[in-house]
Amino acid sequence: MNTPSASPVDLVVVGAGIVGLAHAWHAVRSGLSVIVLDRDDRPVGASVRNFGHICTSAQAGLARQYAEVARDAWLTLAASAGIEVRESGTVVVARTDAEMAVLDEFAAARPGEAEILRPRDVAARLGWAAPDVVGGAFLARDLRVDAPTVIPALIAHLRELGVDIRFGENVVELREDGVRTAAGWFPATAVAVCVGHDVDRLFPDIAGEGAVRRCRLRMLEIDAPHATPIDPALFTGTSLLRYGGFAETAAADGVRAELAATDPELVTHVVNLMATQRPGGRVVIGDTHHYERTLDPFDDETLDELLLERFRRLFGVDSLHVRRRWRGVYAASEVSPYLLASPRPGLVIASVTSGIGMTTALGFARDALERHGIL
């Protein structure tokens, strides 16, 4: 017989990354009682290992819908919880005519969302003159958070709202009346499983149908390359192939062909050259992407050097001082940017499978809960 480790609640959320916390936030704001369970002792996954970039403007399709909801939610959190959310926007640097053509087409299709920049405007926005710039764009609606600190801040806010968040609880069984961990039993009316790429550990069939794999990426944190702070997030031409709003333009084919001809390593390693500056001044740069169901455990140092060489060129400096390096891992799928399933009433399985959890999770979670009758 199970001895409850807590009183029965309306919703148990499995996973304390941004997707799980987003489910908890919407649920508690709707008056539901909520417990969040996470197997680790603290947040250590993809939600604290990213750029902290809320990239609203460059999304397309369903991701764009979720991003709009999430943007409003982040601003609500900033106002109600004192969580630092910066309305700093994004500068996209174009260094070829093909890249500029994508930005021109994007801006024409979305009036008011992208300000086209001349080279001197790009330098003014960034605080330094990047070499070989032909122009750019400024995406004013994008937001920034500091990933390693915003997740603990959100956890603290949820606890203030009454959410019971427990770390070190490894789920071993999901039943219609609750969740059992290695340490106890948590009765609940509904369960949301938000474990990212580890969805295949609990629901291999559902993960298989969704073609869920793991994406391994490399990121680095460097000393600021210039004295002037970099207020906006920084995108480059590779970002034009990474985000749907850019990639769906007719001009994107020109960038794809150009990169394949002039810098094929960026294509091979699915590199998105982008950067954000953390509050203390260090700059996060990245990133490479490799996709497997089971990840190779060995990291190739040449990938870090590839990133550093390209950023030395972009920043116009001879050297960069690396302070930290890490491997990121998140769920990925070529089938859909989101995995959402409900194998039985009261059980929701939700993963962002496109690397845009910080940007869209607060919108995705609300839809998941509403669609399956939990809200």
User: What does the pLDDT look like over 232-282, one tens digit per residue?
Assistant: 999 999 999 999 999 999 999 999 999 999 999 999 999 999 999 999 999
Band (pLDDT 50/70/90 cuts) for residue 6 is confident
Would you say residue 375 has pLDDT above 90? Answer: yes
Rounded CA gap, 304 and 288, in Å? Answer: 9
E-strand ranges in the chain read 9-14, 34-38, 53-54, 90-94, 115-117, 135-139, 143-144, 164-167, 171-175, 178-181, 185-193, 213-222, 233-235, 274-277, 283-286, 290-292, 322-332, 338-344, 347-352
Over residues 71-120, the pLDDT tens digits come to 999 999 999 999 999 999 999 999 999 999 999 999 999 999 999 999 99
What average pLDDT does the chain have? 96
- The CA-CA-CA angle for residues 166, 172, 178, to 5°, reads 70
Sequence-separated (6 or more) residues with CB below 8 Å from residue 333: 210, 211, 212, 213, 339, 353, 354
Q: Is 80 exceeded by the pLDDT of residue 4?
A: no
The ranges assigned to domains in the chain are: 9-52+147-210+335-371, 90-140+213-332
pLDDT at position 1: 45
CATH number belonging to the domain at 90-140+213-332, selected among 3.40.1280.10, 3.100.10.10, 3.30.9.10, 3.30.379.10: 3.30.9.10
CB neighbour list of residue 104: distance below 8 Å, 6 or more residues apart: 116, 251
Task: Give the residue among 73, 259, 47, 299 at the shortest CA–CA distance from 151.
Answer: 47
Q: To the nearest whole percent, how much of the chain has pLDDT over 90?
A: 98
Region 204-211: mean pLDDT is 97
**pLDDT value of position 2:** 59
* Cis omega (within 30 of 0) for bond into 104: no
- Closest Cα partner for 239 from 210, 202, 196, 276? 276
Q: Per the CATH hierarchy, to which homologous superfamily does domain 9-52+147-210+335-371 belong?
A: FAD/NAD(P)-binding domain (3.50.50.60)
Cα–Cα distance for residue pair 232/144, rounded to 1 Å:
8
Domain 9-52+147-210+335-371 and domain 90-140+213-332 have a common topology: no
